[in-house]
Amino acid sequence: MEDLWFELLFFLEVLFSGLLTGSLYSLVALGFVLIFKASGVFNFAQGAMMLFAALSLVGFQEMLGVHWTVAFLLAFAVMIVLAWCVEKFVLGKLVNQEPIILFMATIGITFFLDGFGQTVWGSDIKVLDIGLPTGSFDMGGIFIDKLELVAGATAAGLVFVLAVFFNKTKIGRALRAVADDHQAAMSVGISLRYIWIVVWSVAGLVGLVAGIMWGSKLGVQFSLSLIALKALPVLMLGGFTSIPGAIIGGLIIGSGEKLAEIYIGPFVGGAIENWFAYMLALVFLLFRPQGLFGEKIIERV
Amino acid sequence: MEEQNRQIGDVLLAVEDISLSFGAVRAISDVSFNIKKGEIRAIIGPNGAGKTSMLNCINGFYHPQQGTISYKGITRNQMKPYEAAAQGIGRTFQNVALFKGMSTLDNIMTGRNLKMKSSLLSSVIWWGAAQKEELEHRRFVEDIIDFLEIEAIRKTPVGRLPYGLQKRVELGRALAAEPELLLLDEPMAGMNLEEKEDMCRFILDVNDEFGTTICLIEHDMGVVMDISDRVMVLDYGGKIADGTPEEVRADQNVIDAYLGGGH
Amino acid sequence: MFYREAGQFKSSYKEDQAVFPILQDRIGVGITLAIAFIGIPLFGGEYFISAIMIPFLILALAAIGLNILTGYAGQISLGTGGFMAVGAFAAYKFATWTIVIGQFEGTIPLVLTILLSGVVAAIVGILFGIPSLRIKGFYLAVATLAAQFFIEWVLVKFGWFTNYSPSGIITAPKLEILGYVFSSPAEKYILTLSFVVVLAMAAKNLVRSHIGRGWMAIRDMDIAAEIIGFKPLQTKLSAFAVSSFFCGVAGALWAFIHLGTVEPEAFGINRSFSILFMVIIGGMGSIMGAFIGAAFILLLPIFLSNVPPMIGWDIGVDMVAHMEFMIFGALIIFFLIVEPHGLARLWSIGKEKLRSWPFPY
């Protein structure tokens, strides 16, 4: 009886940890969804943006010795400048190209940002410390990591704000129009340029927050941009165009991955984290090709 | 139009009590009609009446929730589009659905796909069986190109062609499959008078020379009344008239809903 | 003036359909092949042949494979590295498989080994291509990543693939055909060249056949394609199969001829992206584009690391790596803006201009 209870507690611990990690994935996926929703671009550079934002934050903290809130604002300003540059030099020149071309362009941005970030801020691992709590606390026998909890709460808050933004504000509506049809949106007077800068800035902000969370957890280093690869199954599962999808997808992937590693991993030699998330999403897609909340496309001829 | 010695035979396609919905939207409600072999059948009606959806059902692209479709006497349920094509049903589309990355010639050659049997291995080796088959079909396609008078543009990528020519190429692609039943969705939309006359001529020739049964959706009343044997009128997904052009023209329901003149 | 079709009449459809209908093109190809088969082995330096020509050819082959899937059939794939890995390991297993029939004991001949490894890759490709019937676009691209990561994991986890080698490093077997051992760079080059030329020709034949048209039809408008009779299942799976075959053979060649070892690291996600770049920059839907793209992507890092010292610009090694990243990224974006249809399109535009040279149009 004791054993069973212990097993249950352990399961819940793994589950919780997975859910919280999942919310971290969701944060990253959120950036993707925003950009895809509003500009139809699959932004592979989201991970690099996250890294760059985190690097900038730490860089400003170290260089200028300021409080992290100031560094945060400075880093956000940097992301806005980045958004402007991306619009001017990349997106603006590739209007109406096929999606795969835009996707490849974002890969180009990834390379550029990676190199640029490391040129400017150096390539050693940096410690990101903005005073987030560390360690874990005991909740009735289940250990919960404090950092992960804060991250989860932040993610939830951010999502709420973004959802309101998209659905209730004028800009949000314009963003949705642009996502649907660039030319139609232009024809009703929506400035694509402005919208794209806004979206990429918001995605940059989301990336900054995600970068802070992941950076606090892992340190700010190159591998941070590879976290983006983990967000992809989340997108597959939740749908590329859905904010709630990114959340729920993240939770499912995060918990699924953790549970699989603990419970199935030992049978197949471990290290299944690399591909389990993808397989899970793949199988799911077979039943629902547009993801949980993705838009179902009714094809017409 | 003079009545040629066209043989209008038995029922080729029979549609019984078809209803089609997309979620809460009813596209077609309880429509029944038939198409006889060798005839030119028109489907007319205001926009949104369900005409294209009806053709899509015949092609097997949409599957109606209710009702049956029988082709050549055999009732088919849930038929896949490529199966319909294999049975001899050809199609052109309202918004020209040509393969933009290919030339005119290649597009029409895709219409021959069902007749091309070369295996993968044979195609890889090319010289020999695959080449021979390709040349055979090329000959056939060139005949169609002659027929439609589009020799000059055969190597042009179709994306560069004006709309009227694209529609002609699309007709060529449909003809390449040697269909028994040809479904044409607004083949003359966006054309000027001369182009329309050409298109009419092609359609009549196809029906006359090859005996192809034609079912067309068209908005130009002059064309419809001139070339069709029978006309069906759809409105809001339902059938409001069915008969010869003269009968339909005089039908009060049709005048109210579509032809106008009563208000 | 020189590059004209005037006066070259085609009197049959057969002539019209030839791969190189213009005489000047045929001469050009002839010269290129002569240089490739004779000139380079005779005059090319060892470094040039081993470090540039051989990888160029093999990667071009992989790029042809990916081009078939993504460029012609329109199915975005990020799993190229995985399929190459399958080919490499399959080739290793076939090559180390001693067959005993009665008194006869031997191994499978080299050429057959490599072709068979392609077939194995094709089968794996079909398996991972099945989702493409339900999943489209970027969803499919991400699904192919599943293939990439899963294949990588399987090949590392299960010792059977490396014949339970304790060190984990496997040397590729000798390259031997009918007793003749290919050991010098020039010999290996000729072997690679032969494979690549034959397979490139095969690819060209396929894409201009009705099978190739089927792929392009599915790419351009899959619904219309189905309505006029193309079976989506067969068309898509055949694209996956053929594409994976090419990638598998490329993987086998990469391991056996270029690296000399069979290791999964060479076929990771970076490889997949690198080949995708080749396809995009070279030109999607173009066999020649695969070659151009491969040359570009291969030569760029070499160029970037050799040029700064040449102009006396001394930056630290680290810095060079970072700057390479930046320049690489910038160049990709540049090319995508200037010619999204790739260098192959620039090439054919150039040829068109050449047709009317010296007149402006």
Its ipTM equals 0.88
The answer to whether C293 touches C281, Cβ cutoff 8 Å, is yes
The answer to whether A98 touches C133, Cβ cutoff 8 Å, is no
pLDDT for B1 equals: 44
For chain B of 263 residues, list the mean pLDDT of each consecutive stretch of 10: 64 92 90 93 90 92 91 86 92 92 93 88 86 91 93 90 93 94 93 91 92 93 91 92 91 81 45
Minimum-distance CB partner of A101 among C142, C223, C340: C340
CA distance B246 to chain A (A): 31
CB contact under 8 A, B94 and A298: no
pLDDT tens digits along C277-314: 899 889 888 899 999 999 998 988 887 777 766 665 66
| A contact chains, 3+ CB pairs < 8 A | B, C
CB contact under 8 A, A301 and B93: yes
| B contact chains, 3+ CB pairs < 8 A | A, C
Residues paired with B11 in a beta bridge: B36
Tokens of A51: 């890294």
Contacts of A301 in chain B (CB under 8 A): 52, 56, 61, 93-95, 97
pLDDT for B263 equals: 39
CB contact under 8 A, B99 and C225: yes
CB contact under 8 A, B118 and C210: yes
The answer to whether B217 touches B43, Cβ cutoff 8 Å, is yes
Q: Give the residue from A250, A228, A279 showing the smallest Cα distance to C153.
A: A279
The answer to whether C220 touches C232, Cβ cutoff 8 Å, is no
pLDDT tens digits along C5-37: 666 667 777 777 777 767 777 888 888 888 888
- Top pLDDT among A277 and C19 is at A277
CB contact under 8 A, C227 and B59: yes
**Number of residues that make up chain A:** 301
Contacts of A111 in chain C (CB under 8 A): 325-326, 328-329, 332
Residues paired with B103 in a beta bridge: B157
Nearest chain C residue to B171 by CA: give it: C228
CA distance B123 to chain C (A): 6
CA distance A1 to chain C (A): 37
The answer to whether A284 touches A237, Cβ cutoff 8 Å, is yes
Using the CB atoms, write b or e for C40-75: b if 16+ within 10 Å: bbeebeeeebbebbbbbbbbbbbbbbbbbbbbbbbb
Nearest chain C residue to B97 by CA: give it: C224
pLDDT for B56 equals: 93
Is residue B240 helix, strand or coil? strand
User: pLDDT above 70 covers what percent of chain C?
Assistant: 92
- Residue C209 DSSP symbol: S
Tokens of B31: 């429509």
What residues contact A37, with CB distance under 8 A and at least 6 apart? A166, A175, A176, A179, A240, A241, A243
CB contact under 8 A, A111 and C280: no
pLDDT tens digits along A73-92: 999 999 999 999 998 888 88
CB contact under 8 A, C210 and B112: yes
Distance between CA atoms of C346 and C361, rounded to whole angstroms? 17
Is residue B251 helix, strand or coil? coil
The answer to whether B99 touches B106, Cβ cutoff 8 Å, is yes
The answer to whether A237 touches A251, Cβ cutoff 8 Å, is no
Nearest chain A residue to C326 by CA: give it: A112
Structure-token match 């999607």, residue found = C284
CA distance C92 to chain A (A): 23
Determine whether B249 is exposed, middle or buried from the number of CB atoms within 10 Å of its CB (0-12, 13-18, 19+).
Answer: middle
Tokens of C327: 């320049």
- Residue C266 DSSP symbol: G
- Tell me the CB-side half-sphere exposure of residue B48, using CA atoms within 13 A: 4
Handedness of CA C321, C325, C327, C328 (dihedral sign): positive
Q: How many CB pairs under 8 A join B and C?
A: 104
Distance between CA atoms of C27 and C31, rounded to whole angstroms? 6
Q: Give the residue from C342, C120, C89, C332 showing the smallest Cα distance to C241.
A: C120
pLDDT for B88 equals: 93
Tokens of B197: 């006359």
Residues paired with B40 in a beta bridge: B214
Main-chain dihedrals φ then ψ at residue B168, nearest 5 degrees: -70, -40
Is residue B12 helix, strand or coil? strand
Tokens of A108: 């180009």
| C contact chains, 3+ CB pairs < 8 A | A, B
**pLDDT band for position A289 (cuts 50, 70, 90):** confident
CB contact under 8 A, A301 and B22: no
The answer to whether C182 touches C114, Cβ cutoff 8 Å, is no
Residue of B59, B79, B99 for testing the chain C interface, max C β-carbons within 10 Å? B99
Tokens of B26: 């009813």
Contacts of A298 in chain B (CB under 8 A): 22
pLDDT for B262 equals: 43
Q: Give the residue from C124, C129, C170, C189 showing the smallest Cα distance to C151.
A: C124
CA distance A233 to chain C (A): 7
CA distance B93 to chain A (A): 7
CB contact under 8 A, C329 and A123: no
Looking at the complex, does the CB of residue A103 fall below 8 Å from at least one CB of chain C? yes
Q: What is the average per-residue pLDDT within A125-147?
A: 75
CB contact under 8 A, A99 and C143: no
CA distance C204 to chain B (A): 8
Distance between CA atoms of C287 and C23, rounded to whole angstroms? 20
Distance between CA atoms of C119 and C244, rounded to whole angstroms? 8
CA distance B48 to chain A (A): 13
- Tell me the CB-side half-sphere exposure of residue B137, using CA atoms within 13 A: 27
pLDDT for C3 equals: 60
Residue of C11, C222, C228, C341 for testing the chain B interface, max B β-carbons within 10 Å? C228
Rg (CA), chain A: 20
Question: Considering chain C, what is the average pLDDT of its residues?
Answer: 86
What residues contact A18, with CB distance under 8 A and at least 6 apart? A254, A255, A256, A257, A258, A259
Which residues of B have a CB under 8 Å from any CB of A?
Answer: 22, 52, 56, 61, 93-95, 97
pLDDT for B87 equals: 92
Contacts of B50 in chain A (CB under 8 A): none
Compute the C-alpha angle B214/B215/B218, nearest 5°.
120
CB contact under 8 A, B22 and A298: yes
CB contact under 8 A, C150 and A278: yes
Q: What is the average per-residue pLDDT within C337-361?
A: 78
**pLDDT band for position A301 (cuts 50, 70, 90):** low
Distance between CA atoms of A62 and A79, rounded to whole angstroms? 18
Which residues of B have a CB under 8 Å from any CB of C?
Answer: 59-61, 80-82, 84-86, 90-91, 93, 97-102, 106, 109-114, 116, 118, 120, 123-126, 130-131, 134-135, 138-139, 142, 173-174, 177
Compute the C-alpha angle C300/C305/C307, nearest 5°.
90
Residues paired with B238 in a beta bridge: B235
C126 pLDDT above the threshold of 50: yes
Residues paired with B87 in a beta bridge: none
Residue of A100, A299, A300 for testing the chain B interface, max B β-carbons within 10 Å? A300
Helix (H) or strand (E) holding B92: strand B89-92
Q: What is the pTM of this model?
A: 0.89
Distance between CA atoms of C82 and C179, rounded to whole angstroms? 32
The answer to whether C340 touches C279, Cβ cutoff 8 Å, is no
C361 pLDDT above the threshold of 70: no
Looking at the complex, does the CB of residue A222 fall below 8 Å from at least one CB of chain C? no
Q: How many CB pairs under 8 A join A and B?
A: 8
CB contact under 8 A, C213 and B109: yes
**Number of residues that make up chain B:** 263
User: pLDDT above 90 covers what percent of chain A?
Assistant: 10
Contacts of C228 in chain B (CB under 8 A): 85, 90-91, 110-111, 113, 173-174, 177
Structure-token match 């589309």, residue found = B93
Helix (H) or strand (E) holding B170: helix B163-176
Nearest chain A residue to B92 by CA: give it: A301
CA distance B102 to chain C (A): 8
Instruction: For chain A, count helices (H), then strands (E).
Output: 11, 2
Instruction: For chain C, count helices (H), then strands (E).
Output: 16, 6
Main-chain dihedrals φ then ψ at residue C262, nearest 5 degrees: -115, 105
Distance between CA atoms of B139 and B33, rounded to whole angstroms? 38
User: pLDDT above 90 covers what percent of chain C?
Assistant: 40
